[in-house]
Structure formats: C-alpha cells, structure tokens
Structure 1
Amino acid sequence: MVGPDKQKSPFSYSCYVARSREGEQFVPEHVFSYQLSGILTVNTGVKEYVFREGDFRFIKRNQLIKFNKQPAPDGVFEAVSIYFDQELLKQFSLEYGYNTDSGGNGKVDTVTELKKEALYKSFVDSLLPYLQGNQLINQQLQTLKLREALLILLQSQPSLARLLFDFQEPGKIDLEEFMNRNFHFNVQLKRFAYLTGRSLATFKRDFEHIFHISPSKWLLQRRLQEAHYLIREKGKAPGEVYLETGFEDLSHFSFAFKKQYGVPPSQVAG
C-alpha cells in the first residue's frame, strides 16, 4: 500500500499469503490504490479506514500512517498502488494549465475514500499484466500510464487537484499538538522535524522549550505511559501494545517498561 521513501517504480503490486502484516509508514508521495483482495486497515492517528475488495483510495503525501494487511479467506492479500512524484505533477500542471497556487494548506483528510468508478478499474486492469507478471514497464510507458491515471482521477474527482498540485512543503505548525497526536509513530526525529516545518536543530530547540525535556526522552516516557494504560486499563497484551505505541521490538519495549515501572509488562494487572 505504501512503499519506502525512495520508489524504484511508480507502480507497486502487493501480494501477501496466509498471514496478516502490520506496520507503519511515512508516505512521501501521493498514492492512488486499488484493493484487489483482502482487507487493508489504515490508521492516521485521528481516524481509521477499512478497505475491502474493489475499494479505491487516495492518500496524500507527507503523512504518517499505521496499517494492517489481512489476507482474504482464500489466503491472499493483493493491492495495486500508483505513486505520483512532485516532478511529474509539476510538469503535468504546467502542460494542462492547473494553477499551482490553488492547492492551499486547508484541512484535508489524509485518506480519501474514492467512489468506485469503471474508469479506475479499467486503468488498474491495464497495469496488472505488467505487475503480476513482474514485467518491466519502460520509462516512456510509465509516464503515459501515470498521466492517464492523473487524467482519470481529475475527471472523476476534480477536487483532488488542490492536493495534487499543492507543492508547498509542510509549514511550521503547533509542535505540542502534533507530537501528542503522533508520538506513537516510530520515525526518526528528522522526520518529525520536517513534518512540523522545522530544521532538526530548530525542532529540538522548540521541543525543549515546550516540554522541558529532550525529544528522545519525552518520546520514550510518553510511549511507556500509553503502553501502561493500554495494558492495565484496556487489557491489551504486551505483544500488540509495543507496536501500537512506537517501539521497534518486544525485547526493547519490555526492558524499558521494567526499568520505568519496576515490573515487566506481562506482570501488570489488568
């Protein structure tokens, strides 16, 4: 559904068999996706979305999300995603006369649930022989297919233009509100800095001015506090809580938890 920061190809075919997969991801570019089979759950930290077979979605760039990929009863999870980089979108906006100043920074949902359109389905079907067959799509064809996808999206949902052609980088925002909403995402400090419209040095300075503690120490304490609450008050197991609260692995979480509270998370009474 979402890929790494550097995309080798603007087209991605995900196929997982037999077991669910979960994780989190920074979404660096706008993504248009189609769910072929299975269920994808996306959590933005504010809202949860569930996509099933036949659903289409659009996820805007520069976002943090958590996801769960659940195979269908026959054991397969499949999704196709198309990524739109900024260079392509700038060229497209100039050629087709889209005003790049019309994007704005208004409040827009991270995820847009798209209505089912025959044109969307026809476009995805045209990609599947390449993606499922693991065939190389040459540069010229990639460009043509990306432009086709943009034209179809803009015809079906013109309001997406203000997202697609907004080329502004994240502006300086309320740091305290952002961190309290996104502390559970396991990303580097430089990513938090970028998303709050700051250099890393300015981020650290502003953070310590607000919280009176370093970002790393605050994140650890805040994540442990949330984990303790989820285990004790919500009855969740340590094995599901550590990922939910931003820890990389269970052993590191257990060590930090015991150091903070004096007992391992498995011994916290619910």
Structure 2
Amino acid sequence: MPSLPEISLRPQILYSCYHSRSSEGEQFVPEHILSFQLAGTLTTFDGNRQQVFREGDLRLSKRNHLVKFSKQPPEHGEFKSLSVTLDQDTLRRFSLEHGYHAAGPPAPDEAVVALPLTPLYQSYLDSLRPYEQLAEASSAGFLALKLREAILLLLNSNPELQNVLFDFSEPGKVDLEAFMSRNFHFNVRLARFAYLTGRSLATFKRDFEKIFQLSPSRWLVRRRLQEAYFLIKEKGRAPSEAYLEVGFEDLSHFSFAFKKMYGVAPSRL
C-alpha cells in the first residue's frame, strides 16, 4: 500500500501516518519545520551528516536545505510524526512585533538540528492533540496562536536558534565545486542548485562549465554513474537501490546510461 498522509490539520501543522513497511525519498526544505517523532524511525542525510530520530525525538529542519530521508515504521505499527511549519511570513511578523533579529555569525550549515525533548516541548506537543480533529475554518485562529507559541518555545528553550529563525537572507554565493561534489546525488532541477549556490541559472551554468569543463547535466550524469559503480562494485548495493541513492529517477534510464558508460549492465557488474 502506498504511503499517504492521513490527517492534515492545515499546511502549518501536520499529523502524518504511514502504513507501508518503509518509505524513502528526498526533498528541498523551503521553510523551517519543527517535528516530533511519535512512532517509528526517521533517518536523514544532508550530504554531510546522517542522523537517526526515534520515537520521542524532536528536530528542527532548517529552510533552504536538501535532505534525503528514510521512514521506518515500528514492528507491527505505523510511522507517525507531527510537523509544525514556521513559514517566513509568520516569522517576519513575529520579528516586527517582538523585535527579534538574527545577531551574530551565521548558524552552522546543518540541515537538521536535534533538540532535547524537554517538559516544555512535551507540554506543547500534548496541547496540540485537541486540535487534531478540528476543521480548518473553525481552528485557524487557534492554530495561528500555536505557531507563535512554537516560536516562543524555541527561543526560550534554545536561544541560539534566534540566528536561524530570523535570518531572512537568501542563499549567498558559495564554493560551487564543493557544493556540487557534496550534493550531486540530490535529484533536483538545475534552477534549485543555482538558487542554493547563490546564482542565477545563467550564471550557475557559466560558472559550472568553467570549473568542471562540462555542462551541469552531463557532469551530473557522469558523477552519479561513478558513484553508482562504486556502490554496486565495492559496497554490494543492488542496482535497484543504487540508482535512487545517486539521484536517478528511473531504473531503466539508469541502466541504459550505466551500460553506455561502462559497457556492462549494472546487474552484471
């Protein structure tokens, strides 16, 4: 059975429940998301670091990051999580009303921050349960208050997150070679790579070809195939696993490209 979210309160506050044995994927995180792990295990990888979140764990996923994830339900159970999205409009209004601003050096460039589940966080989680069955039209005002409560709670429990929550700047220009070498296996459009490296699409393509002597599309295919070869040959991964890990969407396209580059089908490597 495919994994489908069952209960959606509104875009900012979401209860998710998945029935499948496991679910894997990747996503671009456009807004900060505070998440409570209610059941099952979530494994995340941001290109640098792998983290595992189990039942009772709390995390903040930071905006403008790429993340691969694997969701594993508990034995004979369901994967469940609660996510509170702290969008830029809400944070900007909060900043203007309460005078909070990002101050000091930029926060460490990690996509997901593990937070201790303190009694205050637990009380907040418990306070959300009565809203689970409310219709959006009747609960919008209450839920808006819960978003503001989440911001206050984060600032009270983890003051260092002020520099994260109230940094409204867009991604700055970064080392393109280092960024692409770290994130080539994320299956996103070139325009997204350009944005995350602080460039227009035209500038991204121009800078890319100066550094790699190849177009972004050709380099990505070659680099992903090289990584797939390593995973299959040296790590014993099945082609049906490797093609997703390195950023291909389709197994048949991956197999065709692999055989064209290496002269042998990945299944016969």
Question: TM range, normalised to the smaller chain?
Answer: over 0.9
Partner of 1:257: 258
Secondary structure of 1:31 counterpart? strand
Secondary structure of 2:100 counterpart? coil
Q: Deviations over 1:81-109 (max 9, x none)?
A: 11111111111012111124x16434342
2:94 to 92, 95, 99: 92
Q: Amino acid of the residue matched to residue 180 of structure 2? A: M
Structure 2 CA distance for partners of 1:75 and 1:249, relative to 1, 3 Å: farther
Q: 1:112 aligned to 2:138?
A: no
Counterpart-to-counterpart distance in 2, 1:259 and 1:75: 43
Secondary structure of 1:138 counterpart? helix
1:156-175 to 2 correspondences below 5 Å:
156-175=157-176
Partner of 1:13: 15
Q: CA deviation at 1:240?
A: 0.8
Secondary structure of 1:168 counterpart? coil
Partner of 1:219: 220
Partner of 1:73: 75
1:55-74 to 2 correspondences below 5 Å:
55-74=57-76
Q: CA deviation at 1:110?
A: 1.8
Q: Determine if contact 1:33/1:57 at 8 Å carries over to the other structure.
A: yes
1:94-243 to 2 correspondences below 5 Å:
94-100=96-102, 102=103, 104-131=105-132, 133=133, 135-136=135-136, 138-243=139-244
Partner of 2:42: 40
Q: Determine if contact 1:242/1:250 at 8 Å carries over to the other structure.
A: yes
- Bigger drift between 73-82 and 216-225 goes to 73-82
Q: Deviations over 1:2-53 (max 9, x none)?
A: x9xxxx6111111111410000000000110000000000011101100000
Name the TM-score, length of structure 1 as normaliser. Answer: 0.92
Secondary structure of 1:83 counterpart? strand
Q: Determine if contact 1:25/1:64 at 8 Å carries over to the other structure.
A: yes
Gaps of 5+ in 2: none
Q: Amino acid of the residue matched to residue 34 of structure 1? A: F
- Bigger drift between 244-253 and 48-57 goes to 244-253
Gaps of 5+ in 1: none
Counterpart-to-counterpart distance in 2, 1:66 and 1:164: 22
Counterpart-to-counterpart distance in 1, 2:185 and 2:129: 35
Q: Deviations over 1:207-241 (max 9, x none)?
A: 01111110000000000010011101111111110
Residue correspondences, number: 261
Counterpart-to-counterpart distance in 1, 2:54 and 2:165: 25
Q: Deviations over 1:51-83 (max 9, x none)?
A: 000000011110000000000112210000111
Secondary structure of 1:46 counterpart? coil
Secondary structure of 2:173 counterpart? coil
Q: Determine if contact 1:38/1:76 at 8 Å carries over to the other structure.
A: yes
Q: Amino acid of the residue matched to residue 105 of structure 1? A: P
Counterpart-to-counterpart distance in 2, 1:90 and 1:104: 19
Counterpart-to-counterpart distance in 1, 2:231 and 2:248: 14
Q: Determine if contact 1:103/1:161 at 8 Å carries over to the other structure.
A: no
Counterpart-to-counterpart distance in 2, 1:103 and 1:60: 18
Q: Amino acid of the residue matched to residue 155 of structure 1? A: N
Q: Determine if contact 2:34/2:61 at 8 Å carries over to the other structure.
A: yes
Q: Amino acid of the residue matched to residue 220 of structure 2? A: L
Q: CA RMSD in A?
A: 1.7
State the identity %: 60
Partner of 1:31: 33
Name the TM-score, length of structure 2 as normaliser. Answer: 0.92
